[in-house]
Amino acid sequence: MGLSFRDIMSADMTELDDAAAAWKRMSKRFGELRRDYNAQVRGHLAHSQWSGVAKVTFDEVATVSSGEFGNAKSQAEGIATLLTEAYEDLVARKKDLGKRVAEAEDDKMSVDGSGRVTLDTTKLNEGERLARGHDPTFASALDDKVADWQTAVDKAVEAVNEADAAIKKALLASVAPPGNRAAGMNGFNPRKVDYTPPGTRKDLDRILKDYQVGPDPGGIVGYPRNWILRAAVFSTVTVTEKEADMLDELGLAGLPAFNGIKEDAFDTADARFSSDDRNDDHNDAFRHSYWNALMTKKYGAEWTEKYTVAHEARPGNPPEREAMDLYNNEVGRRIASSHPDASEEELADLVEKAVRDGDMVVIPKGGGRLAFSDQVGPDATGDPTLSAPEGEKDEVSGYTDSGGSGSGKRSGAGSGS
């Protein structure tokens, strides 16, 4: 569960700044310890008469120990920088939330401690109060204004939560064991991890780089693989081997519901966002996100993530399209997880809102990069131009291509969105 309006407004952000200062002091201390170790331990023994196997073993361990002091210094310094950047971003986002509240209150609204926006009727003049009670059009306009301010406040709260999640991810990466170093899983990680504020151009570059998946080692297979299942369905498709394994777990009885979710995602996307080819645009973004939201509601977020990652692991998938789909898939799972009691219609409304608010990404004209879904209109989307790092996908004779991540085509049993 994310941070609430109340959590954010009452949070003391200076604790992050204090933590950054403590990590900076720690970095300095590790540097001092390394110098002391090299001078007082390794330095004394380096000029001693000690020799033999034990000395060789000591030298090896001492080299690692000295290196780990240095790695610890680098890690602490990196975390200090990360926390400082996180502090500055969270302070700015909290300030923006406060600004939205103040603007709403100046516009005759009241915002309570939970972030709920209502009309402050005490701020209406006598004429406005009379019109509100007797003029439906005026009353409706006031209701719309309340809804608009609620959206503004909710979006500012969401921006803080997005930053909070990005900070957590960066912190976990910064303390991840190096694994392949001499100290093994117990070693310090000297690699600096940058904090990228969500919603920025730098964030778009990060999404394009990070939201990628390697091709399935098992390649592309025809599905269903079982001849009994093939006889039970009207069409067959190509999927990755991992997809096929997970679809087999659903069994014959589970495939109709799975395919129904896919069809619902296509139909609802077409109803809410018109599209010529359903690829790389707002229709595509909505479809993938809503598909994931529906699957999360039925199968859970963990299964859905595993399946949709497997679905994208097709050779020859352009990087922009792969990143777009993986990212938008994640947004859909997050929406469903945050609203476990939402109906399918309510999930569709939330996903549509996320597209229109710029919480998803599309491919702009010219390709080679991503854009947030509120930065370009449907007519300004384009096609991917970057080459896939691996070769084109293999075709399987006798089966229809399920379309991978971006075909925008409906296919048979087991095909994705």
Q: Where are the domains of the chain?
A: 5-194, 220-372
Residue 176 pLDDT grade (very low, low, confident, very high; cuts 50, 70, 90): confident
Who wins on pLDDT, 52 or 293?
A: 293
Report d(CA 218, CA 211) in Å as an integer.
21
Q: Which amino acid is at 209?
A: K
Provide the pLDDT confidence category of residue 49 given band limits of 50, 70 and 90. confident
The residue assigned the tokens 């025809």 is 222
Torsion region of 404: left, alpha or beta (phi above 0 gives left; psi -120 to 50 gives alpha):
left
What mean pLDDT do residues 90-108 have?
96
Contact 285, 355 (CB under 8 A): yes
Residue 271 tokens, joined: 């109803």
CA-CA distance, 134 to 111, in Å (whole number)? 25
Q: Which of 207-211, 269-273, 308-312, 402-406 has the lowest mean pLDDT?
A: 402-406
In order of 231, 237, 312, 390, the CA distances from 397 in angstroms are 17, 10, 21, 21
Report pLDDT for 399: 46
CB 351 within 8 A of CB 290: yes
d(CA 235, CA 409): 14
Residue 46: band (very low, low, confident or very high) from pLDDT cuts 50, 70, 90: confident
Tokens of 207: 């999404």
End-to-end alpha carbon distance in the chain: 28
Q: What is the mean pLDDT of residues 210-220?
A: 93
The answer to whether the beta carbons of residues 8 and 114 sit under 8 Å apart is no
In this structure, which amino acid lies at residue 132? R
What is the CB neighbour count within 10 angstroms for residue 302? 10
User: Which two structure tokens, joined as six digits, stand for 299?
Assistant: 């199968």
Mean pLDDT of the region 6-29 = 95
Mean pLDDT of 353-360: 92
Burial class (CB in 10 A: 0-12, 13-18, 19+), 400: middle
The answer to whether 329 touches 348, Cβ cutoff 8 Å, is no
Q: Which residue has the tokens 């080459």?
A: 387
How is residue 388 annotated by DSSP?
P
Q: 5-194 adopts what CATH topology? A: Ferritin (1.20.1260)
In this predicted structure, what is the pLDDT of residue 403?
Answer: 44
Cis bond upstream, residue 224 (ω within 30): yes
Q: Which of 106-110, 229-233, 306-310, 376-380 has the lowest mean pLDDT?
A: 229-233
For 316, list phi and psi in degrees, rounded to 5: 85, 5
Average confidence (pLDDT) over 257-270: 96
What is the DSSP annotation of 172-195? HHHTS--SSSTTGGGS--------
Higher per-residue confidence, 129 vs 236: 129
**Residue 117 host element (H or E):** strand 117-119
**pLDDT bracket for residue 405 (50, 70, 90):** very low
Sequence-separated contacts (24+) of 167-175 with Cβ below 8 Å: 167/82, 167/86, 167/89, 167/90, 167/195, 170/82, 170/86, 170/194, 170/195, 170/196, 171/79, 171/82, 174/75, 174/78, 174/79, 174/82, 175/75, 175/79
pLDDT confidence bin for 179, thresholds 50/70/90: low
Answer yes or no: is pLDDT of 59 > 70. Answer: yes
Range 191-203 average pLDDT: 81
Burial 343-368 (b: 16+ CB within 10 A, else e): eeeebbebbbebbeebbbbbbbeebe
User: Is pLDDT of 407 > 70?
Assistant: no
d(Cα 325, Cα 284) in Å, to the nearest integer? Answer: 8
**How far is residue 266 CA from its own chain's centroid?**
22
* Percentage with pLDDT > 90 across the chain: 67
Number of helices (H), then strands (E), belonging to the chain: the values are 13, 7
**Which residues lie across from 117 on neighbouring strands?**
111
In this prediction, residue 56 carries a pLDDT of 86
User: Could you give the CA distance from residue 373 to residue 381 in angstroms, rounded to a whole number?
Assistant: 10
Q: Beta-carbon neighbour count of residue 131 at 10 Å?
A: 17
Q: Mean of the pLDDT values across residues 288-312? A: 97
Q: Which range among 339-353, 376-390, 400-414 shows the weakest confidence by mean pLDDT?
A: 400-414
